[in-house]
């Protein structure tokens, strides 16, 4: 039987494929463990809290702009009278 030698490039391609499978398996396993420990639920809770805070700041900012606009309108009304 003729024994062919693998070139370095072929060995690296095989190693790359093996490591890709290992890393993918570890990522899936880590995601499952994180899910079981409630990490994703905690992360979603934090994201929801930050989103609510951002929306509240946005609403307050719009309210401040409306109050400023009302004050400007009152000043203009006084000038017109």
Judge whether residue 2 has pLDDT over 60: no
Query: What is the reported pLDDT for 1?
Result: 42
Please compute the mean of the pLDDT values over residues 10-26 and round it to a whole number.
97
Query: What is the reported pLDDT for 55?
Result: 82
pLDDT tens for residues 35-80?
888 888 888 888 898 888 888 877 777 766 777 777 787 887 777 7
Write the secondary structure of the chain as one string of H (helix), E (strand) and C (coil): CCCCCCCHHHHHHHHHHHHHHHHHHHHHHHHHHHHHCCHHHHHHHHHHHHHHHHHHHHHHHHHHHHHHHHHHHHHHHHHHC
Query: What is the reported pLDDT for 77?
Result: 77
pLDDT bin (cut points 50, 70, 90) of residue 3 is low
- Site of tokens 């880590």: 30
């Amino acid at each position: 039987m003729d024994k062919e030698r693998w070139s370095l490039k072929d060995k690296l391609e095989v190693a790359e494929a093996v490591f890709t499978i290992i890393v993918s398996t570890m990522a899936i396993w880590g995601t499952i463990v994180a899910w079981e420990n409630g990490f994703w639920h905690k992360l979603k809770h934090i994201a929801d809290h930050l989103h609510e805070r951002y929306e509240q700041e946005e609403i307050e900012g719009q309210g401040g702009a409306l109050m400023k606009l009302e004050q400007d309108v009152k000043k203009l009304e006084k000038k017109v009278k």
